[in-house]
Chain A
Amino acid sequence: MPMPAAEIEALIKAALPDATVEIEALVDDGDHYLARVTSAAFAGKNRVQQHKLVYEALGGRMGGELHALQLQTSVPN
C-alpha cells in the first residue's frame, strides 16, 4: 500500500522531535523511498539500534505497508 512521504516524515518526527528527515522518492510510485534521518537520539547507538528507533517510530508499518523504504541514519555534527 502506498504511503505519502509527508506521512512518513510526520511519524518519524513525532517519535524523534529533533530529527531532520529528508525523504527522496526513488521511484514515483508512493512506495519506494530513501529516508535520511539525523537525530541526537542516535548518539552512542549502533546502526541496528538506530534503524530500530526509526522502525519503532513507523509503528509496525515497516515491512508491511512500507516495504521499500531505504534508510540512512546519522548523528548531527
Chain B
Amino acid sequence: MSDTNERISNIVESNDVVLFMKGTPLFPQCGFSSRAVQILDHCGVAYESVDVLQDMDIRQGIKSFSDWPTIPQLYVKGEFVGGSDIMMEMYQAGELQQLLDEKDVAKAE
C-alpha cells in the first residue's frame, strides 16, 4: 500500500463522515463539490472535509482508492457512498438520510 493510500485510508477510517472535495464547505471551488456540501448540510450531519486542491497526492490518490474517477467523493463509516450524482439521487429518495441514521453518525452542531 502506498503512503498516499494509507493516508487516505486513515482519514476515511478516523472520520464517520468525510467528503473529499474541491475547496472547502464555505468556499467550494466546483459546482459538484458545492452540491455535495449542500446535500450534507441539508442532512444536518457533522462531517469532515478534505480539500483535494491543497494536496496533489490525495487528489490523484483518491481516484484509485475507490476506483472512482471524479471528485467529490463521500465516505460514511469507512465505506464509499458515491459522488455528487449518487448523493443527490439518494437524498431525493430519502436513502441518504436513512443511511446516515442507520450508521448513527453525529448531527451537526
Contact = CB atoms under 8 A, between A and B. Distances in A.
Interface of A: 47-48, 51-52, 55, 60, 62-64, 67-68, 70-72
B80 A62 contact: no
Interface string B16-56: 00000000000000011000000000000000000000000
Contacts, number: 32
Given A47-B89, A47-B90, A72-B89, A52 B67 contact: yes
Interface residues of A: mostly helix, strand, loop or mixed?
Answer: mixed
Contact of A70 (B69, B71, B81, B85): B85
B107 interface: no
B86 interface: yes
A71 B88 CA distance: 11
Contact of B85 (A51, A52, A60, A64): A51
B70 A48 contact: no
B83 interface: yes
Interface in B81-101: 81-83, 85-86, 89-90
Given A47-B82, A63-B63, A52 B89 contact: no
A63 B82 CA distance: 14
B85 A71 contact: yes
A51 B63 contact: no
A22 B67 CA distance: 25
Contact of B69 (A63, A68, A72): A63
Nearest to A35: B85
Contacts of A72: 85, 89
Nearest to B31: A68
A51 B86 contact: yes
A72 B85 CA distance: 7
Given A55-B69, A72-B89, 9 more contacts: A47-B82, A48-B80, A51-B85, A52-B67, A62-B70, A67-B70, A68-B32, A71-B85, A72-B85
